[in-house]
């Protein structure tokens, strides 16, 4: 066959566009209806009657879905007689010789199908998780139709998915399809009726295919579309050590089949991002533990459309051990919490939350719910609870997102209902500085995610670009660290920032940093919805007059006291909200000093070195890594939530490239000075 040749009296061959089991796949022009089509050959072998019956099962299966938007359309099946290739000496058992001893080509059937102009997805550059989810949802829609008709495709892979010019996904090639409830495949199944890199373990082991097998294959395919390879733990070049001889290639092939049979899955959690929880469910080893195609479609649509309602994926374990995440608490290594916490606001989902953890999606678009007044400008609507310290100002004037920090209820930013889908939620009102509120999310008895809301001074950098916007509130990623930190700022010239930071408090979580950042996004979006109505809500009760909330931490250390830290830039402090904290950097040995207020249960003498400073109990606690030392000065005890005893403290920190003992000695010197100043000038 050659380009320009007429085929079957109506098709003009144009070019080879691929290869199938039966030979080259041609692009041709149908001169009768005036459209381009694809011609795919399928050859029969063995017993003719049986072979033809099985071969025609594929077009019969495809014909059931002629009107489905995500299944390639079959137009016709034609046969073309093959001319003999010349006289040959007959041999016993030769199935391809006629009675005259001439060798003939195996009989070929040509499937005339829709030409998918975008080509298949095999070998394409990696795409974004959102784009892969969009394609996957469309293929899942096709699988719903197949499975309802009792058909399992058995060979979902990038090469069997095509894209039209408009980006519509089409399921191709039903050559390995299986009729559920029957005793044989729809088409003649050989040893390569599945592709091991993408196959479900039950397929690789030769068990009866089932609809869940297609779900697994689609999961491996989506991983390949995003990362460039199926989730089998490295490509062939990794498996054969680059030696490339025949024996090693055989070993590599055996390894591929072994991985498929065992259901080996190694997900690249960072790369697949919001797809991780969906893929974790789709790639479960047990077919009965995987979601059905309809559920997969819904979950993938949620990833592809970030405004869609997230969903739980059940309680089964992921196929691989979870990715560990940083376990430092919000206050740094030395501020790790004890496991006691009160269930102040609970929205428990139980163990099912383990896999739901990454399902609230990280949006990359803007919210279209921007509130406007009659003139079309964004408006700031104050609720009654926000009105105490809200600043009403003319258009264009500065408006505070925070109001007076001393009356702000930071914990009002925490939406226990939104975060409740991840597990049991506790809003901790008695931890950290007065500018923060921590939320503890327990997905099980061993795992805790810490979510911290913090008031910050200043405004967003002019060069920052919001990742999303809710009304007048921009949500921006913070560049200050590798943690999942988002900043909430007004879109105008307003002062004040609300930060949302998420990290692991205890244990590890499936999805690692991708899951933590999804939690951060949920927390940030719910807080932004509240802030769109006005500044941070006000506290229902004021802090007591004796509280450190009314004190100025920066005034507790003067230049003389700070001189204990060599090279410190005492005139250039970084001042926190309401002067509740100050930090100084230096030019010698990377030394730095910090003073701030801190709340927690009273410190125990077993946690560090006990001190007595100006009549206050103190404790020196070196960081685990030895790069800093903190001294806590207990100022006053009070009754917190559930009548538990808590304490307000000063916290002095000194870090740098000095021996730990020297850092603790310097921090103690600062603490002594601060305690003396506090004793002389208590809050009023």
Q: Which of 609, 579, 584, 596 is nearest to 649 (CA)?
A: 596
Task: Yes or no: say if 64 and 149 are a contact pair by the CB < 8 Å rule.
Answer: yes
Q: Which of 202, 206, 208 is nearest to 182 (CA)?
A: 208
User: Read out DSSP for 122-189?
Assistant: TTPPP--HHHHHHHHHHHHHHHHHHHHTTEE----SGGGEEE-TT--EEE---TT-EETTSSSBSS--
Task: Yes or no: say if 110 and 177 are a contact pair by the CB < 8 Å rule.
Answer: no
Q: 99 is written with which tokens?
A: 């009675």
* CA quadruple 32, 33, 35, 40: dihedral sign: negative
Q: Which of 609, 617, 652, 621 is nearest to 637 (CA)?
A: 617
Q: 466 is written with which tokens?
A: 């919001």
Distance of CA 347 to CAs 353, 362, 426, 526, Å? 11, 22, 9, 15
User: Was 40 annotated as part of a binding site?
Assistant: yes
Neighbours of 417 (CB within 10 A): 10
In three-state secondary structure terms, 437 is strand
In three-state secondary structure terms, 527 is helix
Task: Yes or no: say if 611 and 618 are a contact pair by the CB < 8 Å rule.
Answer: yes
Task: Yes or no: say if 681 and 650 are a contact pair by the CB < 8 Å rule.
Answer: no
Distance of CA 593 to CAs 435, 568, 572, 597, 660, Å? 19, 8, 12, 14, 14
Annotated binding-site ranges: 40
Annotated binding-site ranges for ATP: 40
């Amino acid at each position: 066959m050659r380009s320009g040749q007429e085929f079957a009296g109506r098709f003009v061959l144009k070019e080879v566009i691929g290869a199938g089991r039966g030979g080259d796949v041609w692009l041709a022009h149908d001169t009768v209806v005036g459209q381009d089509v694809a011609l795919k050959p399928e050859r029969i072998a063995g017993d003719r009657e049986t072979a033809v019956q099985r071969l025609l099962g594929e077009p019969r299966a495809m014909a059931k879905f002629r009107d489905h938007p995500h299944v390639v359309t079959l137009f016709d099946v034609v046969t073309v007689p093959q001319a003999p290739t010349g006289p040959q000496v007959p041999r016993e058992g030769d199935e391809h010789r006629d009675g005259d001893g001439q060798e003939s080509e195996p009989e070929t059937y040509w499937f005339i199908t829709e030409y998918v102009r975008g080509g298949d997805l095999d070998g394409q550059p990696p795409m974004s998780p959102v784009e892969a989810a969009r394609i996957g949802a469309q293929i899942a829609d096709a699988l719903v139709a197949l499975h309802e008709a009792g058909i399992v495709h058995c060979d979902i892979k990038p090469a069997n998915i095509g894209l039209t010019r408009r980006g519509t996904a089409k399921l191709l090639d039903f050559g390995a399809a299986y009729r559920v409830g029957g005793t044989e495949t729809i088409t003649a199944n050989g040893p390569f009726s599945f592709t091991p890199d993408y196959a479900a373990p039950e397929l690789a082991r030769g068990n009866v295919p089932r609809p869940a097998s297609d779900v697994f294959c689609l999961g491996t395919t989506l991983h390949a579309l995003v990362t460039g390879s199926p989730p089998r733990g490295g490509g062939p070049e990794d498996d054969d050590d680059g030696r490339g001889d025949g024996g090693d290639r055989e070993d590599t092939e055996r390894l591929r089949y072994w991985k498929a049979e065992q259901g080996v899955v190694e997900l690249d959690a960072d790369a697949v991002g919001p797809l991780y929880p969906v893929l974790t469910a789709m790639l479960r080893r047990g077919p009965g533990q995987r979601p059905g195609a309809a559920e997969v479609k819904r979950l993938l649509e949620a990833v592809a459309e970030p405004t869609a309602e997230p969903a739980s994926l059940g309680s089964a374990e992921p196929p691989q051990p979870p990715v560990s995440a940083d376990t430092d608490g919000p206050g740094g290594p030395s501020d790790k919490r004890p496991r006691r916490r009160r269930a102040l606001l609970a929205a428990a989902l139980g163990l099912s939350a383990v896999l739901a953890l990454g399902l609230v999606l990280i949006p990359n678009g803007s919210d279209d719910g921007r509130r406007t007044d009659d003139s079309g400008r964004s408006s700031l609507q104050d609720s009654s609870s926000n009105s105490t310290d809200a600043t009403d100002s003319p258009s264009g004037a500065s408006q505070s997102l925070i109001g007076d920090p001393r009356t702000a209820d930071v914990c009002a930013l925490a939406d226990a209902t939104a975060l409740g889908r991840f597990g049991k939620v506790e809003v901790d009102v008695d931890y950290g500085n007065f500018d923060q509120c921590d939320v503890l999310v327990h997905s099980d008895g061993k795992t805790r995610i810490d979510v911290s809301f913090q008031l910050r001074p200043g405004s967003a950098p002019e060069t920052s670009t919001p990742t999303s916007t809710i009304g007048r509130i921009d949500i921006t990623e913070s560049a200050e660290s590798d943690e999942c930190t988002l900043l909430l700022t007004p879109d105008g010239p307003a002062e004040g920032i609300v930060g949302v930071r998420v990290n692991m408090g205890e244990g590890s979580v499936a999805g690692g940093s991708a899951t933590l950042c999804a939690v951060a996004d949920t927390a940030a979006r719910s807080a932004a919805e509240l802030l769109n109505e006005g500044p941070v809500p006000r506290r229902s009760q004021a802090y007591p007059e004796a509280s450190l909330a009314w004190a100025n931490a920066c005034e507790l250390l003067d230049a003389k006291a700070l001189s204990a830290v060599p090279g410190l830039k005492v005139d250039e402090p970084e001042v926190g909200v309401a002067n509740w904290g100050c930090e100084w950097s230096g030019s010698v040995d990377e030394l730095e000093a910090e003073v701030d207020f801190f709340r927690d249960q009273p410190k125990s003498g077993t946690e560090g070195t006990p001190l007595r400073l100006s009549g206050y109990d103190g404790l020196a606690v070196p960081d685990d890594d030895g790069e800093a030392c903190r001294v806590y000065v207990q100022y006053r005890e009070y009754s917190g939530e559930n009548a538990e005893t808590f304490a307000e403290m000063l916290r002095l920190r000194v870090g740098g490239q000095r021996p730990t003992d020297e850092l603790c000695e310097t921090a103690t010197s600062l603490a002594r000075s601060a305690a003396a100043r506090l004793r002389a000038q208590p809050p009023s």
